[in-house]
Each structure stands twice: as C-alpha cells, then as structure tokens.
Amino acid sequence: MEKPQRLVFGETLVELGAENDRIVVLDADVSSSTQTLHFAAKYPERFFNFGVAEANMVSAAAGFAATGYIPFVSTFAFLLSMRAGDPVRAHVAYPRLNVKLAGGYAGLSDFADGASHQSVEDLAVMRAIPHMTVVVPSDITETRMAVRAVAEHEGPVFLRLSRAEVTEDYGPDHPFEIGRGIVLRDGSDVTIVGTGPMVQMAMRAADALAEDGIAARVVDMHTLKPLDDDLVARCAGETGAIVTVEEHNIYGGLGSAVCESVCASRPVPVLRCGIPDRFGESGALSEILARAGLSVEHVCELAHRAVAAKN
C-alpha cells in the first residue's frame, strides 16, 4: 500500500478529533495541501483557517495552548520554521507550551514549486530551539503512530511531514516511542541511520550492500531531538562506522546530530548523505533527490567509504 504521508496525517487528525475535544487545528490557507481539510470538514468549530498569515497563526496557537487547548498548527515546513520562526521560539518553545507544529511539504518533496517552497533547513532550526522535540516519521504506520504520540506528548513538538507517497512497511506492533530509535535490520559492518521517507532508501541500500558482502545495520531515527544517544553509541561501538541519510541540508539535521552524539560517546567515521548545502530545484522528485545525492547508489558508496575508513 502507498499513501501520501500528508493524507495519513490528515486522517489521523480526524481520529484524534473524535477522541479529544481539546484538539484544535490551525492552518494558513493550505489545508488542501496539508490535508487538514478532513478535520475541517468533520470539526468545523475546532478548525481555524488563518489565511496567508503563518506568524499570526503560530502566536495564536500559543494563545490556544495557554488557554487549555491542544493546537495542531499546520502549514509548509519552511513557513513554520522560518517565517513563523520567531513566534515558534518566543511564544511556543520558550514558555514550553503544548503546541504541535506540523510542517508539511518538507525536504524536496514539493518538487514542482521549487526551492522557494522546499525545506532544507527546518530540522536545523527546530533542533536548535531549546525545549523543542523534533519527530520525522517514515512509513504509513509510523506516521500514524507519530501523530498520536505527538498529541499525547506534553510540550512543543515539530512534526516533519513529506508531500510524497510513503509505503506501509511496519506492522501494528511497531515499537514507536518518541526519543527511541528503532533497529530495523541488524548488521555488523556499518550502520545506516535514516529518518523520514529516507529510511526506505536506507533499507534498499542495505539490500544492495549485502550483495557486496557488507552487512549493514539500519536504524529508523524518527526522533531527532531528543536523539537516542544510547542507540547511536551502541551502533558506533558494534559496527564501527555510520552513514546518515536525510532529506535535509547536511548541516544541522540528522547527520549533524549523529556526529555530535558519537563525538561525545564513541568517535567512529560518520559520513552524511543529505543535501550538500544548496537550495532545491524543480523536476521529478527522483531526479532532484538524486542530484542532491539522495540515491541508493550514493548511500552505498558512502557506506563503502565509511567501512574503509574504519582502519
């Protein structure tokens, strides 16, 4: 099964709306894109379309949270992290209010609109804001679980969502818990740590590496903050080399987080697969991902190099 990740988000919000009448949803004229329109149709009295006014919307969400509601704020990831960055920092994170920031169309997934709408820096921004929890789900099952976990979590969370279709890879017993990475496949030569839809690419790379005689471990690191430092240290110790894969600038996202972690615990070679510090472009998603170095081939190449660097 395949489904746009945003639709999984939209459908799960509707379920949550039935279970908890304190949940309100705020959107900024993009509910047809983010798929909060389903919640709007079901619970019109708990849905607020702010129009094209993202900063206004995020500050208002702080007001909702301070008054006892659980606001899910939804728009494109670049707008939540950059345009509304100041209210996110000053009014949501600083007072640690219970606001859920759902950033859609993240990474390069808004392939036609191009660089202005693609989000290559949101994880760096959100990670650097104190009190913020950062969650990036991968498949259909994990997305559903993440939306639910984010709703239950007390405090500000950034939930990063892709415009792209995701597959259903995990079963109902998938052990999702905010802050705990998940080992999807064991291996002893190198660990590939992926996040969001790039986890699927990591798995395909591990298959390809197996044919070359390299046993790659694969980790789904769905929470970038707080990072599962114990798991990172364990993988560093047991496999001796790490490759990270993310649809984000190589600066400030998953790769940086993993580097920071292993440097403090168990230094091993870490090679980062991500967008090489440049803006996106228009084209088919597979084309623009590949140009940014996000391809199975490139992950494999980095894995070979990481293994070779183990001395």
Ligand X SMILES: Cc1ncc(C[n+]2csc(CCOP(=O)(O)OP(=O)(O)O)c2C)c(N)n1
**Interface residues with other proteins (CB under 8 A)?**
27, 29-33, 37, 49-53, 55-56, 78-79, 83, 112-117, 281-284, 287-288, 291
User: At its nearest, how many Å lie between other proteins and the CB of residue 112?
Assistant: 4
User: At its nearest, how many Å lie between other proteins and the CB of residue 201?
Assistant: 19
Based on CB atoms, which residue is closest to ligand X, 30 or 159?
30
User: At its nearest, how many Å lie between ligand X and the CB of residue 301?
Assistant: 36
Based on CB atoms, which residue is closest to ligand X, 77 or 193?
77
- Residue 103 phi/psi, 5° resolution? -95, 105
Residue 249 contacts which entry, other proteins, ligand X, none (Cβ below 5-8 A, type-dependent): none
Chain residues binding ligand X by CB under 6 A are: 29-30, 52, 79, 83
Based on CB atoms, which residue is closest to ligand X, 55 or 271?
55
Task: Let me know if 142 is a catalytic residue.
Answer: no
Based on CB atoms, which residue is closest to other proteins, 84 or 161?
84
Q: Which residue is nearest to ligand X (CB)?
A: 29
Can you say whether the dihedral through the CA atoms of 24, 29, 35, 38 is positive or negative?
positive
Based on CB atoms, which residue is closest to other proteins, 60 or 236?
60
The one catalytic residue among 54, 121, 142, 247: 54
Residue 284 contacts which entry, other proteins, ligand X, none (Cβ below 5-8 A, type-dependent): other proteins
User: At its nearest, how many Å lie between other proteins and the CB of residue 290?
Assistant: 9
Residue 78 contacts which entry, ligand X, other proteins, none (Cβ below 5-8 A, type-dependent): other proteins
**What one-character-per-residue DSSP string does 188-223 give?**
SSEEEEE-TTHHHHHHHHHHHHHHTT--EEEEE--E
User: At its nearest, how many Å lie between other proteins and the CB of residue 31?
Assistant: 6
Residue 291 contacts which entry, ligand X, other proteins, none (Cβ below 5-8 A, type-dependent): other proteins
**What one-character-per-residue DSSP string does the chain give?**
-EEEHHHHHHHHHHHHHHH-TTEEEEESS-HHHHSTHHHHHH-GGGEEE--S-HHHHHHHHHHHHHTT-EEEEEEEHHIIIIITHHHIIIIIITTT---EEEEES-BT--TTT-TTT-BSSHHHHHHTSTT-EEE---SHHHHHHHHHHHHHSSS-EEEE--SSEEE--S-TT----TT--EEEE--SSEEEEE-TTHHHHHHHHHHHHHHTT--EEEEE--EEES--HHHHHHHHHHHS-EEEEEEEETTTSHHHHHHHHHHHH----EEEEEE-S-----S-HHHHHHHTT-SHHHHHHHHHHHHHTT-
User: At its nearest, how many Å lie between other proteins and the CB of residue 281?
Assistant: 6
Residue 113 contacts which entry, other proteins, ligand X, none (Cβ below 5-8 A, type-dependent): other proteins
Based on CB atoms, which residue is closest to other proteins, 203 or 292?
292
Active site (catalytic) residues: 54
